[in-house]
Copies of this chain bind each other. A is one copy, B any other.
């Protein structure tokens, strides 16, 4: 599990300051009964705790050239926490989904300007996804109330999807009879080559793995140095499309690969640990690589194809190590 403070954050605007006593969640739109719930109302509902890996759709975009606009993540925009809350499905069933409903939109309290529009951050899910068993309205992270920066008092957690779907500081859930056309859905978070294309919406997390860099870092360059001798290379792997079934590791920049041992998973939606025994042939510089494959056959490319937002980049992770 990733503690708060080591879990990545992508916050479009400011962190809202929310007084939980005055806060309510509205459920509105194409429903049989509109609902308005306090935090206590939500806490009184059935509670579930699930370990979920969240990854920013732009994770890795700082490696792309030309560099896409927005947070210049190298590889760090991923984390796994235990989220506790109540299933969204139950709440939607209590409200009663009306005839003609196709999507559910989720609006946060974070306000700002994007694409020249002042807006509250808002994203939708197709109705079938919103009714999935694993989607949570979460009020705890790692057993403690949500920290302000993770969406206090309530956030959505959509396992398997890139983080943009897991709306924080939730204030309104709207059942819609036509596709949501808000900025974050129609303009933001779409895979496109030029600003004029409609593009394809970003959705589920494609397979990825990361290596825990072995050895010690140089402060300024972050170059890694490792003492000669046997070494266990460790890392994590995840996919929102299907369970990870294989992780391969290379110590020669991707020329030859060996299979890593896979560790347990805290849940279907959490990353999986892996390890691989390596005995460097002697002093020198080595490029370690890792590549995850899920059981639907999706795997990591050697090089990520570029797109304007740098989204869904899952190229093989490479770590250079000097063995001395």
Contact = CB atoms under 8 A, between A and B. Distances in A.
Contacts of A14: 216-217
Interface stretch (A111-119, A200-208, A271-279): A111-119
Contacts of A220: 69-70, 114
B5 A219 contact: no
Contacts of A285: none
Interface stretch (A28-36, A144-152, A240-248, A289-297): A144-152
B219 A13 contact: yes
Interface of A: 3-7, 9, 12-15, 69-70, 111-114, 118, 144, 147-150, 216-220, 223, 225
B4 A147 contact: yes
Secondary structure type dominating chain A contacts: loop
A206 B12 CA distance: 32
B216 A149 contact: no
Given A6-B149, A111-B216, 6 more contacts: A3-B149, A5-B149, A69-B220, A70-B220, A112-B216, A144-B144
Nearest to A148: B3
A219 B113 contact: yes
Contacts of A69: 220
A78 to B, nearest CB: 15
B113 A217 contact: yes
A46 to B, nearest CB: 27
Most buried by B among A12, A112, A223: A112
